[in-house]
């Protein structure tokens, strides 16, 4: 007979390649309860009924769920089914989506207990009470965070399958000193670093185990430059051809000492996530975002020209007082800086985020269903918001995919936002969808729009597309290359070349 596992820690990841970093922290800090606990991860693509069957097969007494904006709908279905089948189970929720009482999703009503905040100390205490038959009266529990030096680090709980097939998340610090109101990190008092020596020891162990892709989740990796340099030097000393490091950086803070280290990294070994969000100073002031726009631009250009780092930049549409016109200006300015990627995000309502104070004044209207994306605001109607949503999807397919590197500059040659919006509108008018467009079909659509709507010379468009088409290694020819050219003859006027050859 299979033995039971009293405590299950679980979540539904967005994709299999993602790992639940938070669960590993909780597991690492369970103390004596760890021998009675297990981590089980799922994805949001799996059926709730199958998830429930797997969880119940462990015969647990307590199941803890990590709840995020991307999985709250699926977690809700799973918890509801668990409570129908095994009402005696104790369900504990934690995570950002349930950490801001009384602003709670429906799943909180189904749960027995909800922990708000960093739960490494609070979860073991609660589980000890529950297993001892002591039922706390308080359903909503404010976590008592441990000092970082007292936390047990979780990295040994990445198993060999994680290392072979999944993203490995690490963090050298927690928190953020900035107060950008669209972000939950605005609630932090400051950023605090983990003790560096034990952290680097864990990184060395991960390297020895074969980890070559490190995704740092620090909100502001380059805040304390001395620490940033020590971490970068650590990896430089252990550099291999396949080592890849991802950092989120403050865009306007790139001192010369840091630049010197960054230049020593080989090409394609670094990725920087750079949150620009907006270049509009009025919006920045409104949402308490401190950003030196000129310095940000200079630093992006410097990184592009002097390092081999991949630059992933972010813009957000739908912020208070945002309009299509000022968003277009931010987009055009960012395109001119030539980053490798521009991620176009649509504002989402995060529970607890300070930006919610603007909801009434700027008439911010959000989708009631997760991920709570904005639908309209005072200055942008629903139709325009939908156009930008489609713009963002087509931009991922064409601008961010890297498949049209030779053609994209031709598309964006003049007024990039206006030009790409026209392309987006035309593609949607033709296809009626932003999904399931075959790559070969996309080449053909681009040719049509660029020649018919943009009035670009046919041969020029073909020449640009041909380079990207060859790199894509697609079979056969696109339709615009297969069409027989039209020629004139003295006797026949206009005739098809094939007719001339065979007739």
- Phi, psi (deg, nearest 5) at residue 351: -60, 130
Tokens of 147: 């000092």
**161: in domain:** no
Q: Which CATH number do you get for residue 68?
A: 3.40.50.2300
For residues 217 and 246, membership in a common domain is answered with: yes
* Backbone dihedral region for residue 180 (phi beyond 0: left; psi -120 to 50: alpha; all else: beta): beta
Residue 95 lies in domain = 7-148
Measured between alpha carbons, how far is 219 from 176 in angstroms, rounded to an integer? 6
For residues 256 and 281, membership in a common domain is answered with: yes
Q: Which of 349, 380, 411 is the last residue before a domain boundary?
A: 380
Long-range CB pairs of 21-25 (<8 Å, 24+ gap) are 21/154, 21/169, 21/171, 21/217, 22/66, 22/94, 22/95, 23/66, 24/154, 24/155, 24/157, 24/158, 25/120, 25/151, 25/154
**159: in domain:** no
pTM for the model: 0.92
**248: in domain:** yes
**2: in domain:** no
For residues 312 and 436, membership in a common domain is answered with: no
Among the residues of 209-318, which ranges form H helices?
225-237, 256-262, 281-286, 293-306
Per-residue pLDDT of the chain (503 residues; tens, 9 = 90+): 567 999 999 999 999 999 999 999 999 999 999 999 999 999 999 999 999 999 999 999 999 999 999 999 999 999 999 999 999 999 999 999 999 999 999 999 999 999 999 999 999 999 999 999 999 999 999 999 999 999 999 999 999 999 999 999 999 999 988 889 999 887 887 889 999 999 999 999 999 999 999 999 998 899 899 999 999 999 999 999 999 999 999 999 999 999 999 999 999 999 999 999 999 999 999 999 999 999 999 999 999 999 999 999 999 999 999 999 999 999 999 999 999 999 999 999 999 999 999 999 999 999 999 999 999 999 999 999 999 999 999 999 999 999 999 999 999 998 999 999 999 999 999 999 998 899 999 999 999 999 999 999 999 999 999 999 999 999 999 999 986 554 444 444 433 333 323 33
């Amino acid at each position: 007979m299979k033995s039971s596992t009293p405590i299950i820690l679980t979540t539904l990841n967005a994709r299999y390649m993602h790992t639940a970093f938070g669960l590993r922290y909780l597991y690492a800090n369970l103390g004596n309860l760890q021998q009675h606990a297990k981590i089980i991860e799922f994805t949001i693509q799996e059926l709730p009924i199958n998830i429930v069957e797997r969880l119940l097969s462990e015969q647990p007494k307590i199941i803890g769920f990590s709840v995020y904006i991307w999985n709250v709908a699926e977690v809700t279905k799973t918890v509801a089914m668990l409570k129908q089948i095994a009402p005696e189970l104790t369900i504990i929720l934690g995570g950002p989506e349930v950490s801001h009482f009384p602003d709670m999703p429906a799943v909180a009503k189904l749960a027995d207990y909800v922990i708000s905040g960093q739960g490494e100390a609070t979860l073991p205490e609660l589980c000890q009470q529950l297993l001892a038959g002591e039922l706390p009266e308080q359903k909503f529990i404010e976590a008592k965070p441990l000092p970082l030096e007292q936390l047990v680090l979780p990295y040994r709980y990445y198993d060999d399958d994680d290392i072979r097939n999944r993203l490995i998340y690490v963090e050298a610090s927690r928190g953020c000193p900035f107060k950008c109101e669209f972000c939950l990190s605005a609630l932090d008092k400051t950023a605090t670093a983990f003790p560096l020596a034990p952290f680097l020891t864990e990184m060395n162990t991960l390297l020895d185990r074969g980890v070559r892709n490190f995704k740092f989740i620090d909100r502001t990796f380059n805040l304390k430059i001395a620490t940033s340099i020590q971490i970068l030097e650590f990896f430089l000393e252990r550099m291999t051809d396949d080592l890849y490091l991802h950092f989120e950086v403050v865009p306007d803070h790139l001192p010369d000492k840091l630049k010197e280290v960054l230049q020593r990294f080989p090409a394609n070994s670094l990725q920087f996530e750079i949150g620009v969000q907006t270049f509009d100073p009025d919006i920045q002031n409104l949402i308490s975002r401190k950003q030196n726009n000129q310095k940000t631009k200079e630093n992006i250009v410097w990184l592009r020209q002097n390092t081999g780092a991949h630059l992933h930049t972010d813009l957000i549409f739908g912020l208070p007082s945002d309009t299509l016109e000022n968003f277009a200006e931010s987009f055009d300015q960012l395109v001119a800086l030539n980053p490798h990627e521009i991620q176009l995000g649509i504002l989402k309502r995060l529970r607890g985020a300070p930006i919610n104070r603007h909801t009434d004044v700027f008439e911010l209207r959000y989708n009631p269903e997760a991920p709570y994306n904005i639908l309209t605001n005072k200055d942008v109607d629903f139709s325009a918001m939908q156009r930008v949503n489609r713009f963002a999807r087509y931009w991922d397919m064409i601008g961010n995919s890297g498949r049209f590197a030779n053609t994209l500059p031709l598309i964006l040659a003049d007024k990039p936002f206006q030009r790409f919006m026209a392309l987006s509108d035309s593609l949607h008018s033709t296809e009626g969808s932003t999904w399931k467009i075959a790559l070969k079909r996309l080449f053909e659509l681009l040719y049509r729009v660029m020649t018919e709507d943009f009035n670009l010379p046919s041969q020029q468009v073909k020449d640009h597309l041909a380079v990207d088409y060859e790199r894509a290694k697609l079979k056969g020819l696109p339709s615009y290359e297969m069409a027989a050219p039209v020629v004139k003859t003295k006797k026949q006027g206009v005739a098809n070349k094939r007719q001339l050859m065979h007739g």
